[in-house]
Structure 1
Amino acid sequence: MRQRIRVVVAALVVAVPALAGCGGGTTAPAADGGPRGTLTVFAAASLTESFTTLGRRFEAEYPGTTVTFNFAGSSALATQITQGAPADVFASAAPTNMTTVTDAGHAAGTPTVFARNQLVIAVPQGNPQRLAGLADLTRPGLKVALCAAQVPCGAAATTALDAAGVRVTPVTLEQDVKGALAKVKLGEVDAALVYRTDARAADREVDGIEFAESARAGNDYPIVVLADAPNPTAARAFVALVRSTAGQAVLTDAGFQPPAGP
Protein backbone atom coordinates (compact mmCIF):
# COMPACT_ATOMS: atom_id res chain seq x y z
CA MET A 1 0.00 0.00 0.00
CA ARG A 2 1.33 3.46 -0.93
CA GLN A 3 2.62 5.35 2.08
CA ARG A 4 1.03 8.65 3.08
CA ILE A 5 2.88 11.84 2.24
CA ARG A 6 4.62 13.19 5.30
CA VAL A 7 4.64 16.96 5.88
CA VAL A 8 7.52 18.16 8.03
CA VAL A 9 7.00 21.12 10.37
CA ALA A 10 9.60 23.71 9.48
CA ALA A 11 10.77 24.34 13.03
CA LEU A 12 11.88 20.75 13.38
CA VAL A 13 14.41 20.90 10.57
CA VAL A 14 16.30 24.10 11.28
CA ALA A 15 19.30 22.30 12.74
CA VAL A 16 19.45 18.90 11.12
CA PRO A 17 22.79 18.69 9.28
CA ALA A 18 23.68 15.64 11.34
CA LEU A 19 20.83 13.76 9.71
CA ALA A 20 22.44 13.97 6.29
CA GLY A 21 24.31 10.73 6.81
CA CYS A 22 21.31 8.84 8.17
CA GLY A 23 18.52 6.93 6.50
CA GLY A 24 20.58 4.91 4.04
CA GLY A 25 18.89 3.14 1.18
CA THR A 26 16.84 6.12 -0.01
CA THR A 27 18.94 7.21 -2.96
CA ALA A 28 19.22 4.20 -5.24
CA PRO A 29 17.10 4.18 -8.41
CA ALA A 30 14.69 1.36 -9.13
CA ALA A 31 15.80 -1.52 -11.33
CA ASP A 32 14.34 0.24 -14.39
CA GLY A 33 16.29 3.41 -13.59
CA GLY A 34 13.28 5.23 -12.17
CA PRO A 35 13.15 6.89 -8.75
CA ARG A 36 12.41 5.13 -5.50
CA GLY A 37 12.86 5.83 -1.80
CA THR A 38 12.28 9.07 0.10
CA LEU A 39 12.19 12.43 -1.65
CA THR A 40 12.49 15.55 0.51
CA VAL A 41 11.10 18.78 -0.93
CA PHE A 42 11.58 22.18 0.72
CA ALA A 43 8.80 24.42 -0.63
CA ALA A 44 7.28 27.83 0.05
CA ALA A 45 4.24 27.72 2.34
CA SER A 46 2.01 29.01 -0.45
CA LEU A 47 2.67 25.79 -2.37
CA THR A 48 1.24 23.57 0.37
CA GLU A 49 -1.99 22.52 -1.32
CA SER A 50 -0.73 22.19 -4.90
CA PHE A 51 2.53 20.43 -4.02
CA THR A 52 0.73 18.03 -1.69
CA THR A 53 -1.45 17.07 -4.65
CA LEU A 54 1.61 16.68 -6.85
CA GLY A 55 3.31 14.60 -4.16
CA ARG A 56 0.44 12.12 -4.21
CA ARG A 57 0.60 12.00 -8.01
CA PHE A 58 4.37 11.39 -7.85
CA GLU A 59 4.00 8.49 -5.41
CA ALA A 60 1.31 6.95 -7.61
CA GLU A 61 3.47 7.28 -10.71
CA TYR A 62 6.56 5.90 -9.00
CA PRO A 63 5.62 3.07 -6.61
CA GLY A 64 8.15 2.70 -3.84
CA THR A 65 8.65 6.44 -3.38
CA THR A 66 7.62 8.58 -0.41
CA VAL A 67 7.49 12.36 -0.69
CA THR A 68 8.26 14.39 2.44
CA PHE A 69 7.54 18.12 2.38
CA ASN A 70 8.93 20.93 4.49
CA PHE A 71 6.62 23.92 3.93
CA ALA A 72 7.68 27.28 5.38
CA GLY A 73 8.65 30.81 4.45
CA SER A 74 11.15 30.81 1.60
CA SER A 75 13.71 32.82 3.57
CA ALA A 76 13.64 30.29 6.42
CA LEU A 77 13.99 27.40 3.98
CA ALA A 78 16.94 29.04 2.25
CA THR A 79 18.63 29.48 5.63
CA GLN A 80 18.06 25.83 6.51
CA ILE A 81 19.54 24.67 3.22
CA THR A 82 22.64 26.85 3.51
CA GLN A 83 23.11 25.58 7.06
CA GLY A 84 23.20 22.00 5.82
CA ALA A 85 19.67 20.68 6.20
CA PRO A 86 19.34 17.63 3.89
CA ALA A 87 16.89 18.18 1.04
CA ASP A 88 16.48 17.14 -2.58
CA VAL A 89 14.46 20.00 -4.09
CA PHE A 90 13.93 23.66 -3.23
CA ALA A 91 10.92 25.61 -4.55
CA SER A 92 10.94 29.27 -3.54
CA ALA A 93 8.21 31.90 -3.70
CA ALA A 94 10.71 34.47 -4.98
CA PRO A 95 14.03 34.53 -6.88
CA THR A 96 15.75 36.45 -4.04
CA ASN A 97 15.62 33.50 -1.65
CA MET A 98 16.65 31.13 -4.41
CA THR A 99 19.69 33.34 -5.04
CA THR A 100 20.73 32.81 -1.42
CA VAL A 101 20.90 29.09 -2.14
CA THR A 102 22.55 29.30 -5.55
CA ASP A 103 25.17 31.84 -4.41
CA ALA A 104 26.13 29.43 -1.62
CA GLY A 105 26.71 26.67 -4.16
CA HIS A 106 23.78 24.49 -3.10
CA ALA A 107 21.99 24.28 -6.47
CA ALA A 108 22.61 21.59 -9.07
CA GLY A 109 22.10 23.56 -12.25
CA THR A 110 20.07 26.66 -12.98
CA PRO A 111 16.72 27.22 -11.22
CA THR A 112 13.64 27.32 -13.44
CA VAL A 113 10.61 29.54 -12.89
CA PHE A 114 7.51 27.34 -12.90
CA ALA A 115 4.71 29.67 -11.70
CA ARG A 116 3.72 33.20 -10.73
CA ASN A 117 1.51 34.46 -7.92
CA GLN A 118 -0.17 37.73 -6.96
CA LEU A 119 -1.54 39.24 -3.79
CA VAL A 120 -5.13 39.83 -2.73
CA ILE A 121 -6.62 41.38 0.39
CA ALA A 122 -7.93 38.51 2.51
CA VAL A 123 -10.94 39.41 4.67
CA PRO A 124 -13.45 37.39 6.69
CA GLN A 125 -16.14 35.89 4.51
CA GLY A 126 -18.73 38.49 3.57
CA ASN A 127 -16.19 41.34 3.84
CA PRO A 128 -17.78 42.90 6.98
CA GLN A 129 -15.56 46.00 6.81
CA ARG A 130 -16.52 46.58 3.16
CA LEU A 131 -12.91 46.93 2.04
CA ALA A 132 -12.36 47.65 -1.64
CA GLY A 133 -8.67 48.44 -2.06
CA LEU A 134 -5.34 49.10 -0.41
CA ALA A 135 -6.29 52.62 0.67
CA ASP A 136 -8.99 51.13 2.90
CA LEU A 137 -6.30 49.39 4.96
CA THR A 138 -5.39 52.74 6.49
CA ARG A 139 -8.75 53.20 8.22
CA PRO A 140 -8.39 54.05 11.93
CA GLY A 141 -8.80 51.00 14.13
CA LEU A 142 -8.55 48.51 11.25
CA LYS A 143 -6.29 45.58 12.15
CA VAL A 144 -4.04 44.38 9.32
CA ALA A 145 -1.60 41.46 9.12
CA LEU A 146 1.35 41.43 6.74
CA CYS A 147 4.20 39.05 6.13
CA ALA A 148 7.62 40.07 7.39
CA ALA A 149 9.72 42.02 4.89
CA GLN A 150 12.25 39.19 4.36
CA VAL A 151 9.47 36.80 3.34
CA PRO A 152 8.41 36.91 -0.35
CA CYS A 153 4.78 37.79 0.47
CA GLY A 154 6.07 40.62 2.67
CA ALA A 155 8.33 41.98 -0.04
CA ALA A 156 5.46 41.81 -2.53
CA ALA A 157 3.19 43.64 -0.09
CA THR A 158 5.73 46.43 0.29
CA THR A 159 5.96 46.78 -3.49
CA ALA A 160 2.18 46.90 -3.87
CA LEU A 161 1.68 49.39 -1.05
CA ASP A 162 4.44 51.63 -2.41
CA ALA A 163 2.83 51.49 -5.86
CA ALA A 164 -0.46 52.62 -4.32
CA GLY A 165 1.20 55.31 -2.20
CA VAL A 166 -0.28 53.73 0.91
CA ARG A 167 1.34 53.34 4.33
CA VAL A 168 -0.06 50.59 6.54
CA THR A 169 0.92 49.91 10.14
CA PRO A 170 0.30 46.17 10.67
CA VAL A 171 -0.57 44.76 14.05
CA THR A 172 1.50 41.66 13.26
CA LEU A 173 4.26 40.59 10.89
CA GLU A 174 4.12 36.89 10.07
CA GLN A 175 6.93 34.60 8.96
CA ASP A 176 4.96 33.04 6.11
CA VAL A 177 1.77 33.65 4.19
CA LYS A 178 -0.14 30.91 6.02
CA GLY A 179 0.50 32.74 9.28
CA ALA A 180 -0.95 35.97 7.90
CA LEU A 181 -3.97 34.14 6.54
CA ALA A 182 -4.53 32.37 9.84
CA LYS A 183 -4.91 35.73 11.59
CA VAL A 184 -7.88 36.49 9.35
CA LYS A 185 -9.39 33.04 9.75
CA LEU A 186 -9.14 33.30 13.54
CA GLY A 187 -10.72 36.75 13.58
CA GLU A 188 -7.61 38.35 15.06
CA VAL A 189 -7.30 40.88 12.22
CA ASP A 190 -9.70 42.52 9.77
CA ALA A 191 -7.53 41.96 6.71
CA ALA A 192 -4.22 40.57 5.48
CA LEU A 193 -2.25 40.72 2.26
CA VAL A 194 -1.83 37.12 1.10
CA TYR A 195 -1.39 35.28 -2.16
CA ARG A 196 -4.40 34.73 -4.38
CA THR A 197 -3.79 30.98 -4.15
CA ASP A 198 -3.98 30.96 -0.35
CA ALA A 199 -7.22 32.93 -0.31
CA ARG A 200 -8.67 30.52 -2.86
CA ALA A 201 -7.64 27.50 -0.77
CA ALA A 202 -9.46 29.02 2.22
CA ASP A 203 -12.50 30.32 0.32
CA ARG A 204 -14.92 28.77 2.82
CA GLU A 205 -13.56 31.08 5.50
CA VAL A 206 -12.22 34.17 3.74
CA ASP A 207 -12.87 36.32 0.70
CA GLY A 208 -10.07 37.57 -1.54
CA ILE A 209 -10.32 41.15 -2.77
CA GLU A 210 -8.38 41.88 -5.95
CA PHE A 211 -6.59 45.23 -6.31
CA ALA A 212 -4.89 46.80 -9.32
CA GLU A 213 -1.44 47.26 -7.76
CA SER A 214 -1.13 43.49 -7.30
CA ALA A 215 -0.11 43.14 -10.95
CA ARG A 216 3.00 45.22 -10.20
CA ALA A 217 3.98 43.00 -7.27
CA GLY A 218 3.78 39.51 -8.73
CA ASN A 219 6.24 36.86 -7.55
CA ASP A 220 8.05 34.35 -9.74
CA TYR A 221 8.46 30.86 -8.24
CA PRO A 222 11.76 29.11 -9.13
CA ILE A 223 12.58 25.45 -8.45
CA VAL A 224 15.88 23.56 -8.48
CA VAL A 225 17.44 20.20 -7.64
CA LEU A 226 19.91 20.70 -4.80
CA ALA A 227 23.59 19.92 -5.23
CA ASP A 228 23.78 17.60 -2.22
CA ALA A 229 20.42 15.94 -2.86
CA PRO A 230 20.30 12.52 -1.11
CA ASN A 231 17.95 11.31 -3.87
CA PRO A 232 18.87 13.16 -7.09
CA THR A 233 17.02 10.71 -9.36
CA ALA A 234 13.71 11.36 -7.59
CA ALA A 235 14.51 15.07 -7.34
CA ARG A 236 14.89 15.42 -11.11
CA ALA A 237 11.68 13.46 -11.67
CA PHE A 238 9.72 15.67 -9.27
CA VAL A 239 10.95 18.88 -10.90
CA ALA A 240 9.94 17.41 -14.26
CA LEU A 241 6.46 16.69 -12.89
CA VAL A 242 6.07 20.25 -11.60
CA ARG A 243 6.99 21.62 -15.02
CA SER A 244 4.89 19.13 -16.97
CA THR A 245 1.47 19.80 -18.46
CA ALA A 246 -0.12 17.81 -15.62
CA GLY A 247 1.84 19.73 -13.00
CA GLN A 248 0.98 23.08 -14.52
CA ALA A 249 -2.70 22.12 -14.56
CA VAL A 250 -2.60 21.47 -10.80
CA LEU A 251 -0.93 24.84 -10.21
CA THR A 252 -3.40 26.67 -12.44
CA ASP A 253 -6.34 25.07 -10.62
CA ALA A 254 -4.85 26.38 -7.36
CA GLY A 255 -4.80 29.93 -8.75
CA PHE A 256 -1.18 30.22 -9.87
CA GLN A 257 -0.35 31.92 -13.14
CA PRO A 258 1.94 30.28 -15.70
CA PRO A 259 5.51 31.56 -15.83
CA ALA A 260 6.15 34.44 -18.16
CA GLY A 261 7.43 33.55 -21.59
CA PRO A 262 10.98 34.25 -22.72
Structure 2
Amino acid sequence: MLELKPIRCLIVDDEPPAREVIRRYVQEVPTLHLVGECANAVQALTVLQQQPIDLLFLDIRMPQLDGTTFLKTLKNPPKVIFTTAYAEYALEGYELDIIDYLLKPVRFDRFLKAVNKACAPAASQPSFAAVTAAPAETLSQADEKRSDSFVYFRADRKMQKVMLHDILYIESMKDYVKINTTLGTIITKQSITSVESMLSEKQFVRTHRSFIVAIDKIRSYTNELIEIDAAEIPIGKLYRNGVLKILS
Protein backbone atom coordinates (compact mmCIF):
# COMPACT_ATOMS: atom_id res chain seq x y z
CA MET A 1 0.00 0.00 0.00
CA LEU A 2 1.25 3.50 -0.83
CA GLU A 3 2.49 5.31 2.26
CA LEU A 4 1.48 8.94 2.07
CA LYS A 5 3.67 11.74 3.35
CA PRO A 6 2.23 13.43 6.46
CA ILE A 7 0.65 16.82 5.79
CA ARG A 8 2.12 19.29 8.28
CA CYS A 9 -0.63 21.58 9.59
CA LEU A 10 -0.70 24.80 11.59
CA ILE A 11 -3.84 26.25 13.20
CA VAL A 12 -4.06 30.03 13.61
CA ASP A 13 -7.09 31.37 15.48
CA ASP A 14 -7.49 33.72 18.43
CA GLU A 15 -10.44 31.73 19.84
CA PRO A 16 -9.47 28.62 21.87
CA PRO A 17 -12.79 26.78 21.19
CA ALA A 18 -12.33 27.24 17.44
CA ARG A 19 -8.77 25.90 17.64
CA GLU A 20 -10.02 22.93 19.64
CA VAL A 21 -12.52 21.96 16.92
CA ILE A 22 -9.93 22.04 14.14
CA ARG A 23 -7.39 20.26 16.35
CA ARG A 24 -9.86 17.45 16.99
CA TYR A 25 -10.63 17.14 13.28
CA VAL A 26 -6.93 17.07 12.34
CA GLN A 27 -6.34 14.31 14.88
CA GLU A 28 -9.15 12.28 13.28
CA VAL A 29 -7.30 12.15 9.94
CA PRO A 30 -4.18 9.92 10.22
CA THR A 31 -2.37 11.58 7.33
CA LEU A 32 -2.55 15.03 8.92
CA HIS A 33 0.18 16.00 11.37
CA LEU A 34 -0.47 18.96 13.66
CA VAL A 35 2.72 20.98 14.05
CA GLY A 36 1.22 23.58 16.36
CA GLU A 37 -1.40 26.17 17.21
CA CYS A 38 -1.14 29.95 17.30
CA ALA A 39 -3.42 32.58 18.81
CA ASN A 40 -2.35 35.33 16.41
CA ALA A 41 -0.51 36.06 13.18
CA VAL A 42 2.74 37.09 14.88
CA GLN A 43 3.06 33.69 16.54
CA ALA A 44 2.24 32.02 13.24
CA LEU A 45 4.97 33.94 11.43
CA THR A 46 7.53 32.67 13.94
CA VAL A 47 6.47 29.07 13.37
CA LEU A 48 6.54 29.47 9.58
CA GLN A 49 10.08 30.85 9.79
CA GLN A 50 11.27 27.97 11.95
CA GLN A 51 9.81 24.90 10.23
CA PRO A 52 8.00 23.85 7.03
CA ILE A 53 4.21 23.94 7.02
CA ASP A 54 2.14 22.35 4.26
CA LEU A 55 -1.35 23.47 5.25
CA LEU A 56 -2.50 26.49 7.23
CA PHE A 57 -5.92 26.70 8.89
CA LEU A 58 -6.18 30.46 9.18
CA ASP A 59 -8.85 32.51 10.92
CA ILE A 60 -9.72 35.79 9.20
CA ARG A 61 -10.84 38.10 11.99
CA MET A 62 -8.07 38.34 14.57
CA PRO A 63 -6.73 41.24 16.66
CA GLN A 64 -3.64 43.19 15.57
CA LEU A 65 -3.34 41.51 12.16
CA ASP A 66 -6.25 39.81 10.38
CA GLY A 67 -5.82 36.63 8.38
CA THR A 68 -6.09 38.17 4.91
CA THR A 69 -3.53 40.89 5.65
CA PHE A 70 -1.21 38.33 7.21
CA LEU A 71 -1.46 36.08 4.16
CA LYS A 72 -0.53 38.99 1.87
CA THR A 73 2.71 39.47 3.82
CA LEU A 74 3.92 35.92 3.17
CA LYS A 75 6.30 35.55 0.24
CA ASN A 76 5.89 31.78 -0.15
CA PRO A 77 2.78 30.86 1.84
CA PRO A 78 1.72 27.25 2.39
CA LYS A 79 -1.67 26.09 1.20
CA VAL A 80 -4.35 27.94 3.14
CA ILE A 81 -7.85 27.08 4.29
CA PHE A 82 -9.63 30.03 5.87
CA THR A 83 -11.81 29.47 8.91
CA THR A 84 -14.36 32.21 9.54
CA ALA A 85 -17.75 32.96 11.00
CA TYR A 86 -18.35 35.53 8.24
CA ALA A 87 -19.27 34.22 4.79
CA GLU A 88 -18.83 37.66 3.23
CA TYR A 89 -15.05 37.25 3.45
CA ALA A 90 -15.04 34.24 1.10
CA LEU A 91 -14.56 36.25 -2.11
CA GLU A 92 -11.51 38.08 -0.82
CA GLY A 93 -10.07 34.75 0.27
CA TYR A 94 -10.36 33.21 -3.17
CA GLU A 95 -8.70 36.28 -4.67
CA LEU A 96 -5.71 35.37 -2.48
CA ASP A 97 -5.67 31.90 -4.05
CA ILE A 98 -6.69 30.01 -0.94
CA ILE A 99 -7.79 26.37 -1.17
CA ASP A 100 -11.15 26.74 0.56
CA TYR A 101 -12.88 28.45 3.45
CA LEU A 102 -14.72 26.79 6.32
CA LEU A 103 -17.68 28.57 7.85
CA LYS A 104 -17.91 28.26 11.63
CA PRO A 105 -19.18 26.15 13.29
CA VAL A 106 -17.15 23.78 11.12
CA ARG A 107 -18.65 20.41 10.22
CA PHE A 108 -16.35 17.40 9.97
CA ASP A 109 -17.56 16.34 6.52
CA ARG A 110 -17.00 19.89 5.26
CA PHE A 111 -13.54 19.85 6.86
CA LEU A 112 -12.65 16.66 4.96
CA LYS A 113 -13.84 18.15 1.70
CA ALA A 114 -11.61 21.20 2.15
CA VAL A 115 -8.61 19.06 3.09
CA ASN A 116 -9.20 16.87 0.05
CA LYS A 117 -9.05 19.99 -2.13
CA ALA A 118 -5.74 20.93 -0.55
CA CYS A 119 -4.20 17.68 -1.74
CA ALA A 120 -5.85 17.53 -5.16
CA PRO A 121 -2.87 18.96 -7.14
CA ALA A 122 -0.70 16.00 -6.15
CA ALA A 123 -1.56 14.02 -9.27
CA SER A 124 1.11 11.40 -8.67
CA GLN A 125 -0.61 10.07 -5.58
CA PRO A 126 -4.20 9.65 -4.39
CA SER A 127 -5.49 12.31 -2.03
CA PHE A 128 -5.31 11.28 1.61
CA ALA A 129 -9.01 11.99 2.10
CA ALA A 130 -9.69 9.22 -0.40
CA VAL A 131 -7.57 6.89 1.71
CA THR A 132 -8.73 7.84 5.19
CA ALA A 133 -12.36 8.52 4.38
CA ALA A 134 -14.60 8.70 1.32
CA PRO A 135 -13.72 10.95 -1.65
CA ALA A 136 -14.94 14.45 -0.86
CA GLU A 137 -17.37 14.55 -3.79
CA THR A 138 -19.21 11.47 -2.57
CA LEU A 139 -18.79 11.78 1.18
CA SER A 140 -22.41 12.68 1.90
CA GLN A 141 -23.75 9.99 -0.45
CA ALA A 142 -21.52 7.42 1.20
CA ASP A 143 -22.74 8.46 4.66
CA GLU A 144 -26.31 7.96 3.52
CA LYS A 145 -25.70 4.46 2.20
CA ARG A 146 -23.54 3.14 5.02
CA SER A 147 -25.39 1.35 7.79
CA ASP A 148 -22.35 1.17 10.07
CA SER A 149 -21.73 4.91 10.56
CA PHE A 150 -21.61 5.96 14.19
CA VAL A 151 -20.66 8.69 16.64
CA TYR A 152 -19.56 8.60 20.28
CA PHE A 153 -21.18 10.50 23.13
CA ARG A 154 -19.86 10.80 26.69
CA ALA A 155 -22.47 9.49 29.13
CA ASP A 156 -22.29 7.64 32.45
CA ARG A 157 -18.54 8.32 32.66
CA LYS A 158 -17.74 6.53 29.40
CA MET A 159 -17.87 7.06 25.65
CA GLN A 160 -20.95 5.36 24.20
CA LYS A 161 -21.20 4.42 20.56
CA VAL A 162 -24.45 5.39 18.82
CA MET A 163 -25.21 4.11 15.33
CA LEU A 164 -26.52 6.92 13.14
CA HIS A 165 -29.29 4.75 11.72
CA ASP A 166 -30.63 4.26 15.29
CA ILE A 167 -31.06 7.97 16.04
CA LEU A 168 -34.66 9.25 15.94
CA TYR A 169 -34.19 12.82 17.11
CA ILE A 170 -32.01 14.94 19.39
CA GLU A 171 -33.36 17.37 21.98
CA SER A 172 -31.54 20.19 23.75
CA MET A 173 -31.95 20.46 27.52
CA LYS A 174 -30.00 23.62 28.46
CA ASP A 175 -26.43 22.37 29.04
CA TYR A 176 -27.31 18.83 28.00
CA VAL A 177 -28.74 17.04 24.98
CA LYS A 178 -30.91 13.95 24.89
CA ILE A 179 -30.19 11.51 22.08
CA ASN A 180 -33.42 9.61 21.38
CA THR A 181 -32.74 6.34 19.57
CA THR A 182 -34.62 3.20 18.64
CA LEU A 183 -32.80 1.50 21.53
CA GLY A 184 -33.42 4.11 24.22
CA THR A 185 -32.08 7.51 25.25
CA ILE A 186 -28.64 8.88 26.07
CA ILE A 187 -28.08 12.16 27.91
CA THR A 188 -24.76 13.92 27.45
CA LYS A 189 -23.36 17.28 28.52
CA GLN A 190 -22.93 18.95 25.16
CA SER A 191 -24.50 21.73 23.12
CA ILE A 192 -26.93 20.86 20.36
CA THR A 193 -24.84 22.93 17.94
CA SER A 194 -21.77 20.81 18.61
CA VAL A 195 -23.83 17.66 18.07
CA GLU A 196 -25.17 19.09 14.82
CA SER A 197 -21.60 19.56 13.56
CA MET A 198 -21.02 15.82 14.01
CA LEU A 199 -23.93 14.79 11.79
CA SER A 200 -24.42 14.63 8.04
CA GLU A 201 -26.81 17.26 6.68
CA LYS A 202 -28.03 14.61 4.23
CA GLN A 203 -29.30 12.47 7.09
CA PHE A 204 -30.32 15.00 9.76
CA VAL A 205 -32.00 18.39 9.80
CA ARG A 206 -32.20 21.06 12.51
CA THR A 207 -35.90 21.88 12.86
CA HIS A 208 -35.76 24.12 15.92
CA ARG A 209 -33.14 25.68 18.17
CA SER A 210 -33.75 22.72 20.49
CA PHE A 211 -34.30 19.84 18.04
CA ILE A 212 -32.52 17.85 15.32
CA VAL A 213 -34.35 15.02 13.58
CA ALA A 214 -33.33 12.04 11.46
CA ILE A 215 -34.88 12.66 8.05
CA ASP A 216 -35.56 9.00 7.28
CA LYS A 217 -37.42 8.55 10.60
CA ILE A 218 -40.04 11.22 9.85
CA ARG A 219 -43.50 9.65 9.72
CA SER A 220 -45.44 12.79 8.77
CA TYR A 221 -45.18 16.57 8.97
CA THR A 222 -47.03 19.86 8.72
CA ASN A 223 -45.77 23.43 8.55
CA GLU A 224 -45.46 23.45 12.34
CA LEU A 225 -44.77 19.86 13.44
CA ILE A 226 -42.87 16.70 12.56
CA GLU A 227 -44.02 13.30 13.82
CA ILE A 228 -41.45 10.63 14.66
CA ASP A 229 -42.91 7.58 16.37
CA ALA A 230 -45.16 9.02 19.09
CA ALA A 231 -43.19 12.27 19.41
CA GLU A 232 -44.21 15.61 17.90
CA ILE A 233 -41.19 17.79 17.07
CA PRO A 234 -41.78 21.53 16.56
CA ILE A 235 -40.55 23.36 13.47
CA GLY A 236 -39.25 26.76 14.52
CA LYS A 237 -40.07 29.86 12.46
CA LEU A 238 -36.41 30.55 11.73
CA TYR A 239 -35.91 26.99 10.45
CA ARG A 240 -39.24 26.49 8.65
CA ASN A 241 -38.26 27.46 5.11
CA GLY A 242 -35.13 25.34 5.14
CA VAL A 243 -36.86 22.35 6.69
CA LEU A 244 -39.81 22.40 4.30
CA LYS A 245 -37.47 22.79 1.33
CA ILE A 246 -35.58 19.67 2.35
CA LEU A 247 -38.68 17.62 3.10
CA SER A 248 -40.47 18.62 -0.07
Q: TM-score, normalised by structure 2?
A: 0.29
More contact order relative to length (CA 8 Å, sep ≥ 6): 1
Structure whose CA Rg is larger = 2
TM-score, normalising length from structure 1?
0.28
Structure 1 or 2: more helix by fraction: 1
- Report which of the two has the higher share of strand: 2
